[in-house]
Amino acid sequence: MWKYIAVGILVLPVSLLSQDKKPWVVKGQWQASLFGYSSDGIGHRREPLRYQLNFNPRLSKGNWDIPLELSLYNVGFDSDYQFARFGIHPTWKWGKIHAGHTNLKVSSFSLNGRTLLGTGLELTPGVLRFTVLWGQTATAANSPLTNRVQPNAFATEMLTVKLGVGNRNHFLDLIYLKGEDQAGTIDSSRLYLDQYPAENLVLAARTEHYFFKRKWFVGGEFAGSAYNWNQNSLALAEVTDDLPSIPNWLLDPTVATQLSTAMEAFVGFRNRKFNTKIQYQKIGAGFRSMGSYFFQDDLEKIDLSLGFRMLKNKLRVKTSAGFRQNNLSDDKSLKTVRSQGLLNLYFRPNAKWNFNGTYSNYQTEQTVKTLGSRDSLRTALVSSNLNIGAQYNRIGSKKYNHQFSLRGGMQTAADRYKLEGGMGETQNYLTSLNYRMQTPKKKLELRGGLEYFGLNSDFQESARYGGSVAGLFNLKKNKLQLGIGSRQIISDNQKSADAISIMPYVTAGWRANTWKNFTLRLQYNHQEIKNNASPSFNEWQFTARYNHRFKGKSKKSLPK
């Protein structure tokens, strides 16, 4: 049935477009990349040859806009893993069609950023808001191994329907999502013991409202999830009379079905000089949605953010704070509570100077909830991170542009329960100094830098330091670009071998015009291991990339 719907979705815009006699306008770009790799002294850490192709034209005609995307790449020419992505998304005044690979967000707890291969339709005529999307979110993976290192995976199909009323300022949406693993897509002899085809039903309602030229906003969402971990398990009606109050046409629960709910609410204000937002979320234990890649369930959290600008936008301040906890039903042996805070300052007094600094603090504490739990599993982590930086730009008498930047940072992490035994603290230090000089019209650019990273923990003390130099030359009226540089890093580790890494590289680029350009990059990596702890090795990498932009109209040739 869905195949016929997909054909109908694609035929509809073709019939509408045939009535428009205006010429097509086409623009976009295509890109071809080739990556090479070789090593000596160690095994290959990547495939020796890979490719990537991207084709992104965009057609427009009247109220129609039709972007198309095509991507092809592989891990290696000798690899079985190939990747192809295709999508076309025609858009007109109040509608949009999806065919191929599509990535959409319908709501926080239903379809949220999951890429699927299929068809879809979005319509917003007047106050009506309608979306339907159907396709495959995962393809079958039949591995010759039957372990969790390289597990098999079922093909998964999903249908999402959204029906709502409103506009961009005020709306209410009702959402239906049904996902199902296709049991016959994996050889049953290759499944591990607790792997079963699952299915999922999510019902959600979401509303958002914006007032006073969208400066004030408020909204929220409530969702219920039924996740059946095993489609082949017994129906719940065969085991007990205590059934959930869900219509049979929506869900026929089994003994492996887990019901859960999730909710969020937020309110905020924003303008050019000030913004703030407070958000609350509660996700019940076992909440799942096949429309999202990941959900952290059994979680309650509240977050507050605040930002403002002062001194004619020269000073910008951002701050946030949050609190979260799990074990909402008090049925687990441990309870985790976490609080966090962040402060960021950016100050630009004039065109030459700018300063920035960020401080963050995270505290995580676990408490024992049952007498049978091991107290040694408790943790009380406190982590803080401070980063500061300054940048100075100077234009000399000959219009040479000089830029100096200095950055420094420190991160500490400690477990209060382990500190009593003289353990549990880690400190990181990072600092860097960089310089860049540009000549008039950017014909020559020189760069240099120094960096240092130190680690001090209960188990290791180490440091990495070194520098980098680079030069960039623009020739032939900036059509030819040549670059050469190198990075040298010395690793000083007290508990393992020291090492010296030398990584020179050469780049070349040719830009024939604004439509065509070609780039070639060669990089060499030599790592010398001291104390004969392990052999030294060499690596070579190259990248070749061609990019072509185009633009034209139907009945007319493309520009030369």
Q: Are strands 257-270 and 216-228 parallel, antiparallel or unpaired?
A: antiparallel
Residue 28 lies inside a defined structural domain of this protein: no
Task: For residue 4, give the 3-state DSSP assignment.
Answer: helix
327 plus 419 within the same structural domain: yes
138 plus 270 within the same structural domain: yes
Please identify, among 407, 438, 469, the residue that sits at the C-terminal boundary of a domain.
Answer: 438
Instruction: Output the six-digit token pair for 465.
Output: 């330091």
In this structure, are residues 447 and 435 in contact, taking their beta carbons and an 8 Å threshold? yes
Residue 472 lies inside a defined structural domain of this protein: no
Please identify, among 438, 462, 483, the residue that sits at the C-terminal boundary of a domain.
Answer: 438
Give pLDDT, residue 388.
97
- As a whole number of angstroms, the distance between CA 333 and CA 390 comes to 48
292 plus 310 within the same structural domain: no
Give pLDDT, residue 4.
41
Residue 205 lies inside a defined structural domain of this protein: yes
Residue 252 lies inside a defined structural domain of this protein: no
Give pLDDT, residue 189.
61
Give pLDDT, residue 559.
40
Residue 372 lies inside a defined structural domain of this protein: yes
Could you read off the pLDDT tens digit of each residue along the chain, which spans 560 residues?
A: 445 445 445 555 555 555 556 788 999 999 999 999 999 888 777 788 888 999 999 999 888 999 999 998 876 545 445 678 899 999 999 999 999 999 999 999 999 989 999 999 999 999 999 999 999 987 776 655 544 444 567 889 999 999 999 999 999 999 999 999 988 777 666 666 567 889 999 999 999 999 999 999 999 999 999 999 988 888 887 777 777 777 777 888 888 899 999 999 999 999 999 999 999 999 999 999 999 988 889 999 999 999 999 999 999 999 999 999 998 888 887 888 999 999 999 999 998 999 999 999 999 888 876 655 555 566 778 899 999 999 999 876 567 889 999 999 999 988 876 655 555 688 999 999 999 999 877 789 999 999 999 988 877 788 999 999 999 999 888 889 999 999 999 888 776 667 888 899 999 999 888 789 999 999 998 888 765 556 778 899 999 999 999 988 765 443 44
395 plus 383 within the same structural domain: yes
Give pLDDT, residue 482.
93
231 plus 364 within the same structural domain: no
Please identify, among 411, 438, 465, the residue that sits at the C-terminal boundary of a domain.
Answer: 438
118 plus 202 within the same structural domain: yes
Residue 284 lies inside a defined structural domain of this protein: yes
110 plus 181 within the same structural domain: yes
* Residue 167 belongs to domain spanning: 94-143+151-187+195-244+261-296
Q: Per DSSP, which regions of 41-79 are E strands?
A: 49-61, 64-74
Residue 326 lies inside a defined structural domain of this protein: yes
328 plus 280 within the same structural domain: no
Tally of domains in the chain: 2
CA distances from 74 to 33, 49, 67, 85 (A): 11, 9, 24, 12
Instruction: Name the nearest CA neighbour of 26 among 556, 515, 560.
Output: 556
226 plus 240 within the same structural domain: yes
Give pLDDT, residue 398.
67
316 plus 202 within the same structural domain: no
366 plus 226 within the same structural domain: no
128 plus 269 within the same structural domain: yes
Residue 500 lies inside a defined structural domain of this protein: no
